[in-house]
């Protein structure tokens, strides 16, 4: 695969994607609604699951859409900027932009590099970068959530299988992107994994805990 990419485009894709991903929508949405700061409740996470602990389902849904949307938007902007380039070049640039947006969500510069766990941004990025892979991962989350009733476990299963789906669909660059995000998701879910091994992770619709994906 021959790829010839201008370093300026690489810098723009990575820098722009990171800054876009760094936007802490959970914090912005809750504060705008006068509902406080998600970092002061539950797990202290800025993601939709923890926003839901405020009791405001609408705010949690808005956070979910925005966190997923910023990953998708980063990919879309990179795709538009490289629409006249080769397919290989476009694939690499969109993957870099999506990966940078994901990294920005996890380590946002605006919040002292203390961000979310990345599940919504993971799905948004994959759906925009390669929608069949994103749909397969989302379907995996739904099936795992239905079977096990544990949100974090469903996310871990979906993240684990996403690179395989990309390889099976002949998208090696997307497989590399999915693997990169999966590794970080597992690292960010270390506490959840510990609770899963102890049988202490909260179930969907059950008693509220401090997990938060």
Q: Average pLDDT in the 49-55 region?
A: 90
DSSP 43-85: T---SHHHHHTTT-HHHHHHHHHHHHHHHHHHHHHHHHHTTTS
Q: Report the pLDDT value the prediction gives residue 43, as an integer from 0 to 100.
A: 83
Q: Average pLDDT in the 46-52 region?
A: 92
Band the pLDDT of 2: cuts 50, 70, 90.
low
Model pTM?
0.92
Q: Is the pLDDT of residue 210 over 60?
A: no
Q: Report the pLDDT value the prediction gives residue 182, as an integer from 0 to 100.
A: 98
For residues 88 and 124, which has the higher predicted lDDT (pLDDT)?
124
Containing 173, the helix (H) or strand (E) segment is helix 172-188
Band the pLDDT of 213: cuts 50, 70, 90.
very low
Q: Is the pLDDT of residue 188 over 90?
A: yes
Band the pLDDT of 71: cuts 50, 70, 90.
very high
Cα gap 50→55, rounded to integer Å: 10
Band the pLDDT of 8: cuts 50, 70, 90.
confident
């Amino acid at each position: 695969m021959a790829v010839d990419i201008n370093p300026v485009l690489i810098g723009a894709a990575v820098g722009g994607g990171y800054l876009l991903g760094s936007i802490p929508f959970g914090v912005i949405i809750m504060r705008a609604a006068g509902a406080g700061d998600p970092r002061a409740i539950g797990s202290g996470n800025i993601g939709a699951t923890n926003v839901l602990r405020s009791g405001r389902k609408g705010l949690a849904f808005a956070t979910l859409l925005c966190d997923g949307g910023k990953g998708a938007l980063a990919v879309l902007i990179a795709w538009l900027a490289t629409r006249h380039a080769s397919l290989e070049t476009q694939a690499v640039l969109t993957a870099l932009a999506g990966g940078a947006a994901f990294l920005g969500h996890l380590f946002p510069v605006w919040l002292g590099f203390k961000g979310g766990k990345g599940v919504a941004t993971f799905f948004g990025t994959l759906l925009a970068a390669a929608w069949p892979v994103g749909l397969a991962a989302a379907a995996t989350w739904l099936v795992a959530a239905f079977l096990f009733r544990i949100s974090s476990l469903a996310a871990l299963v979906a993240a684990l299988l996403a690179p395989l789906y990309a390889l099976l669909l002949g998208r090696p660059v997307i497989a590399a992107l999915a693997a990169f995000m999966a590794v970080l998701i597992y690292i960010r879910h270390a506490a959840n994994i510990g609770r899963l091994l102890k049988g202490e992770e909260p179930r969907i619709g059950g008693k509220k805990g401090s997990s938060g994906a």
